[in-house]
Amino acid sequence: MEVVAAFSRRPTRKIRVGDVEVGGDAPISVQSMTVTKTADVEGTLAQIYALAAAGADIVRCTCNEAAAAEGLAAIVPRSPVPIVADIHNQYRMALAALEAGVQCLRLNPGNIRRAEHIKTVARECRDRGVPIRIGVNGGSLHPDLYAKYGGKVTPEAMVESAMQEMEYFAAVDFDLVKISVKASSVPLMVEAYRRLSEVTDHPLHLGVTEAGPPPVGVVKSTAGIAALLADGIGDTIRYSLTADPVEEARMGRALLESMGLRERKTVDLIACPSCGRAEVDVFGIAQQALEAFGEEEIPLQVAVMGCVVNGPGEARDADLGIAAGRGRGHLFVKGVNVAVVPEDEMVDSLVSWARFIVAEGAEAALAKADTARARREAERDRSSLLLSQGSDVNETGSKVNLVRRAAGA
Ligand code: SF4
């Protein structure tokens, strides 16, 4: 499937987090955060590798104590992606993380408040060329800002917090900055980011903080992040889910791919919602197919359709698809029937045809198939289904007649 660039981005300046560019014309990056103790080097590295495999471009680790900073010294050189150290209340942990070689810091202006501490960290980052994310969080705003805005978290207060931090940085001539103004309320964070994007051209890191467990946490994150991306706002994103962080990376990646903002890396599995005509357990087969494709690099749209009556037509734009017939699966490539397989081989066949298309191309897949025979077989099952189910399997026509009769029409 072609990537259609549907949303133009507001211009921002570009910074580098290790070897990943953020902002400007760089692809929007996906971030996630480890949930291991950072002092547990092997456990944390295993999670970082899993996150990278699931689509994370940048990973954040907590640096809350000296043991965590020591862990970072061992983790950073072995990590497949740049590491951001999340600094809590102690500015000394920021200095320790820099010594450990991290490629970025995240500072919460609500937590590290003393100007001289902030400037010390910024000076050190400036000298090392390491960027900082100013990570404003609606739940931990500076008390003075709460007071100023009537004890409430407002978009204005969040933007002001970020801009205050920028002033401290400017005082020491440091500007390698990206900014986030996250809140757990979607309308609040959307408004805060909109206002922020009006007053700065630094790259923005989007997220709905403490979004909660899936599926609602995914919905909240998607609502907030996608609304902003559609406005052209956002250079890097993170889903904050109460779940295995691998899900965060997957969701982030999936959102960008579905909006045409990143090239597809893994399968885009589409499936019909099933209906009375379905000849197989569409939900089960779709799930099995998702698991079978896993994180494999197969940048194709693959369709699982419940019946051969309507499936191939409805999914004709997919690169590859399968539709259930009379105990068999009908495979099609770009809407052209290519093979018939037993029902219990549907998922395996999808995977092997997908691999073939990735390696050799769709034309080669069509060339190796007996398309005339496959079409005849599909037509046979289609006719048989139409004969037994009729053309109105959901009985819409007879229901409409009943409705009309009841209405006296
Ligand atoms: S008509 Fe066939 S393809 Fe369409 S939803 Fe029903 S089972 Fe799926």
Q: Residue 126 belongs to a domain with what CATH number?
A: 3.20.20.20
Q: What is the CATH number of the domain that holds 310?
A: 3.30.413.10
pLDDT at 397: 67
My answer on whether 68 and 90 are in the same domain is: yes
> How does pLDDT run across 21-50, given as a tens digit for each residue?
999 999 999 999 999 999 999 999 999 999
My answer on whether 174 and 317 are in the same domain is: no
My answer on whether 35 and 138 are in the same domain is: yes
Spatial distance between the Cα atoms of 155 and 239, rounded to a whole number of angstroms: 20
My answer on whether 273 and 196 are in the same domain is: no
Give the distance (Å) from ligand 1 centre to CA of residue 88.
Answer: 52
User: Which residue of 285, 304, 314 sits with most ligand 1 atoms within 8 Å of its CB, as the best mutation to test the pocket?
Assistant: 314
Give the H/E segment covering residue 254: helix 245-258
User: Which residue of 307, 346, 382, 395 sits with most ligand 1 atoms within 8 Å of its CB, as the best mutation to test the pocket?
Assistant: 307
My answer on whether 48 and 179 are in the same domain is: yes
My answer on whether 216 and 282 are in the same domain is: no
Give the distance (Å) from ligand 1 centre to CA of residue 375.
Answer: 18
pLDDT over 70 at 395, yes or no: no
List, in sequence order, every residue forming a beta bridge with 269; answer none if it has no partner.
302
My answer on whether 244 and 274 are in the same domain is: no
5 assigned to some structural domain: no
pLDDT band at 392 (very low <50, low <70, confident <90, very high): low
Give the H/E segment covering residue 85: strand 83-87
Query: Which atom of ligand 1 is found nearest the CA of 275?
Result: 6
Contacts of 136 (CB under 8 A, 6+ apart): 108, 109, 110, 158, 161, 162, 165, 179, 180, 181, 182, 192
My answer on whether 250 and 275 are in the same domain is: no
pLDDT over 90 at 61, yes or no: yes
| Any atom of ligand 1 within 6 Å of the Cβ of 277 | yes
pLDDT at 5: 54
> How does pLDDT run across 105-132, given as a tens digit for each residue?
999 998 998 999 999 999 999 999 999 9
Q: Whose CA is nearest to atom 1 of ligand 1?
A: 310
pLDDT over 50 at 1, yes or no: no
Please tell me the total count of domains within the chain.
2
My answer on whether 33 and 146 are in the same domain is: yes
396 assigned to some structural domain: no
Dihedral of alpha carbons 323, 328, 329, 332, sign: negative
Domain of 275, in residue numbers = 268-389
Give the distance (Å) from ligand 1 centre to CA of residue 307.
Answer: 5
pLDDT at 394: 62
| Any atom of ligand 1 within 6 Å of the Cβ of 18 | no
Domain edge (last residue) among 231, 258, 285: 258
Reading the block at residue 386, the tokens are 């139409």
> How does pLDDT run across 167-221, given as a tens digit for each residue?
999 999 999 999 999 999 999 999 999 999 999 999 999 999 999 999 999 999 9
| Any atom of ligand 1 within 6 Å of the Cβ of 310 | yes
My answer on whether 243 and 384 are in the same domain is: no
pTM over 0.85: yes
